Amino acid sequence: MTKEFIPHDLGNSARILQNDRRGGNDILDHVDKEEFTDRLKNSVEICNKDEQTVTISKEHSKEKTKEQYRHLIDEEKTKSTEFRYEKITNVVIYRGENMILENGIEYRSVEEYLKSLR
């Protein structure tokens, strides 16, 4: 995200309840909005821009190994994961040069990848 996440559903629901013709109520005015937002962000895995960090360590190898992409070629694993995210691409981020293997797995330089996100 490029801005701070602000859920509008709670405020909209509170206004609807307050303006109910059958006698409004203010129950949602007593909800801790900060805790509500944090719990919602965690449940749907939303991060504000300042929370989106990547740490590159010595474990981020310059080598290319099957261990790095074994889950990408496991059709069952990708199908069971894609329902939570979008289509999974065959890309491995690593500390080497950009290249595509014969099996279609793409290796992308972590440095170039992170610069492309700006």
Q: What is the pLDDT of residue 48?
A: 57
Give the confidence band of 96 by pLDDT, cuts at 50, 70, 90: confident
Q: Are 59 and 53 in contact (CB under 8 A)?
A: no
CA 114 from centroid of its chain's CA atoms = 15
Q: How far apart are CA 70 and CA 64, in angstroms?
A: 12
Q: What is the mean pLDDT of the chain?
A: 76
Q: What is the pLDDT of residue 1?
A: 47
- Position 51 pLDDT exceeds 70: no
- Position 70 pLDDT exceeds 80: yes
